[in-house]
Amino acid sequence: MFTLNQIKEAHAKVKSGADFPNYIQELSQLGILKYTTYVNDGHSQFIGKDKYTLTSESKYPVKTIAEESKMSEFQNYLKQHQQGQSDYPTFCTQAAETGVEKWVSDLINMTCTYYNKKANAMLVETIQGV
């Protein structure tokens, strides 16, 4: 079973979106199958085998999630983040401003799906480089 400390150690190595594939690989090695990150306060729920679940604490003060989804603006921010041009706190602020409520990283299918407040998928991307 994985622990929140192990997850924190893996996350501490992430400086930008360019580090995301290595982070995913490390989480997968810990036995995490899927996790959901909530943009409003940065907490995540991690799911492993046999429905083993851990929830992390909030990472920052509560952000307001925009009611209107701004897909193209979000895609631009995501691309910049994946190229290492923004840090994680900046990306989370940009996600909130463009209407992203949460994202679900599926470590089995190697996808990351971004959802708006209406639970509609805004973007599904394949996790590359793992």
Whole-number pLDDT of residue 127: 87
Domains identified in the chain and CATH numbers: 4-124 (3.30.1810.10)
Sheet of strand 102-106, all strands in order from the earlier edge strand to the far edge: 53-55, 44-48, 32-38, 102-106, 111-115, 121-126
Rounded to two decimals, the pTM is 0.90
**Half-sphere exposure at residue 125, Cβ-oriented, CA atoms within 13 angstroms:** 14
pLDDT in tens, the chain (130 residues): 899 999 999 988 887 777 888 899 999 999 999 999 999 999 999 999 999 999 999 999 999 999 999 999 999 999 998 888 988 899 999 999 999 999 999 999 999 999 999 999 999 999 877 6
Whole-number pLDDT of residue 130: 63
d(CA 58, CA 78): 22
For 14-69, where are the alpha helices, taking DSSP H only? Answer: 20-30
